[in-house]
């Protein structure tokens, strides 16, 4: 796979052309990691220090930089774009059209917001890693997030719990958040979504 780059009138923006369709139609401009939760590709690009925006078009990905030079950003951006398309993962996640897996629409929105939180050890969001066991949102906005970590005593536990609470609290209609940590059941790689499994190159049998 060969990815071309193309300058734009704005020196802070650079177009990356993967040589295949990115979007079927239209254009989507994402200006924050929260907005990028709708796209696995954009989510990973926003994790690169110095990336301030991502626009998805029919045959291009336009990245906006902040204060880092392109010579430092381009290798990481090219690597992520290539890895994404080679994995076969979708550019956009399926929108939440209604309750899923017994969750209310409000709980589903909280779950989407939790995709902002990236496990620092694995470099992937905690929802698709399977670390979020349950989300409930009461009529009064009281929200409970039940989650785990990849291992008991994980050094990132406090970081993940705090991040989950802040992400859930950012959702409209959420008035209070309680993050409950559990290790029953213990997390295993089989709890990852198919998207995450493809990202980590796991075979159909669940191995790394």
Q: How is the chain split into domains, by residue range?
A: 4-87, 105-199
Res. 150: pLDDT tops 80: yes
- Burial pattern 165-194, b for ≥16 Cβ within 10 A else e, equals bebbeebeebeebebebeeeeebebebbbe
Bridge-partner residues for 125, per DSSP? 118
Cα 6 from Cα 19, distance rounded (Å): 12
Comparing 205 with 25, which gets the higher pLDDT? 25
Q: Is it true that 4-87 and 105-199 share their CATH fold?
A: no
Cα 204 from Cα 11, distance rounded (Å): 44
Question: Is omega for the bond preceding 148 within 30 degrees of 0, making it cis?
Answer: no
Cα 206 from Cα 188, distance rounded (Å): 10
CATH-assigned architecture of domain 105-199: 2-Layer Sandwich (3.30)
When pLDDT is averaged across residues 142-167 and rounded to a whole number, the result is: 94
CB of 77 closer than 8 Å to CB of 45: yes
**CA 12 to chain centroid:** 23
Res. 164: pLDDT tops 60: yes
- Encode pLDDT of 172-186 as tens digits: 889 999 999 999 999
**Model pLDDT, residue 97:** 42
Classify residue 187 by its DSSP letter. Answer: P
CB of 1 closer than 8 Å to CB of 82: yes
Question: Is omega for the bond preceding 185 within 30 degrees of 0, making it cis?
Answer: yes
Total Cβ atoms within 10 A of residue 6? 10
CB of 106 closer than 8 Å to CB of 175: no
Strands 142-147 and 176-181: parallel
How does residue 96 score in pLDDT terms, banded at 50, 70 and 90?
Answer: very low
CB of 25 closer than 8 Å to CB of 45: no
Task: Kindly report the CATH class assigned to 4-87.
Answer: alpha beta
- Encode pLDDT of 48-61 as tens digits: 999 999 999 999 99
């Amino acid at each position: 796979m060969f990815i071309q780059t193309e300058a734009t009138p704005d020196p802070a923006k650079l177009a990356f052309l993967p040589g295949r369709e990115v979007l079927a139609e239209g254009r989507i401009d994402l200006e924050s990691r929260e907005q990028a939760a709708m796209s696995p590709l954009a989510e990973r690009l926003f994790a690169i220090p110095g990336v301030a925006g991502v626009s998805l078009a029919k045959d291009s990905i336009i990245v906006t930089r902040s204060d880092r030079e392109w010579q430092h950003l381009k290798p990481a951006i090219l690597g992520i774009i290539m890895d994404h398309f080679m994995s076969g993962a979708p550019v956009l996640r399926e929108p939440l059209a209604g309750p899923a897996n017994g969750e209310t629409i409000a709980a589903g929105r909280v779950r989407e917001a939790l995709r902002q939180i990236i496990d620092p050890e694995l470099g992937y969001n905690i929802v698709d890693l399977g670390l979020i066991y349950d989300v409930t949102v009461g009529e009064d906005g009281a929200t409970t997030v039940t989650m785990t970590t990849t291992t008991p005593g994980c050094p990132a536990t406090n970081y993940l719990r705090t991040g989950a609470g802040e992400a859930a609290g950012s959702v409209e209609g959420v008035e209070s958040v309680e993050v409950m940590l559990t290790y029953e059941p213990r997390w295993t790689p089989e709890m990852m979504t198919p998207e995450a499994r493809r990202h980590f190159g796991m075979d159909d049998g669940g191995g790394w």
